[in-house]
């Protein structure tokens, strides 16, 4: 999970825009995070097939591996 702000250490993974096993193109929306201050859409850093490593609705610390794109 990327660091959404200086004081933020965790966020809730609200929604995914690509299903497990689905394909994504670099720059397309991948998932939505919610912190205590803001919701933010995270775009795919690369193109490929998405494998989710966490459950949606969970709270995760910054740096947690949320998904792999191969």
Residue 20 lies in a domain: yes
Higher model confidence: residue 48 or residue 9? 48
pLDDT tens for each residue of 12-50: 999 999 999 999 999 999 999 998 888 999 999 999 999
Residue 31 lies in a domain: yes
Residue 62 lies in a domain: no
Residue 15 lies in a domain: yes
Q: CA-based diameter of the chain, in Å? A: 33
Domain that holds residue 29: 11-47
Return the pLDDT at 63: 86
Confidence band (pLDDT; 50, 70, 90) for 2?
Answer: low
Return the pLDDT at 52: 96
pTM: 0.83
44/24 Cα distance (integer angstroms):
7
Residue 37 lies in a domain: yes
Given a contact cutoff of 8 angstroms between Cβ atoms, the answer to whether 57 and 14 are in contact is: yes
Q: How many domains does the chain have?
A: 1
Residue 3 lies in a domain: no
Residue 61 lies in a domain: no
């Amino acid at each position: 999970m990327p660091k959404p702000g200086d004081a933020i250490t965790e966020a809730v993974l609200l929604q995914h825009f690509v299903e497990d096993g689905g394909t994504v193109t670099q720059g397309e929306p991948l998932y939505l995070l919610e912190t205590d201050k803001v919701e933010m859409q995270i775009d795919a850093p690369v193109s490929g097939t998405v494998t989710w490593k966490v459950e949606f609705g969970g709270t995760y610390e910054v740096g947690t591996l949320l998904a792999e794109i191969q």
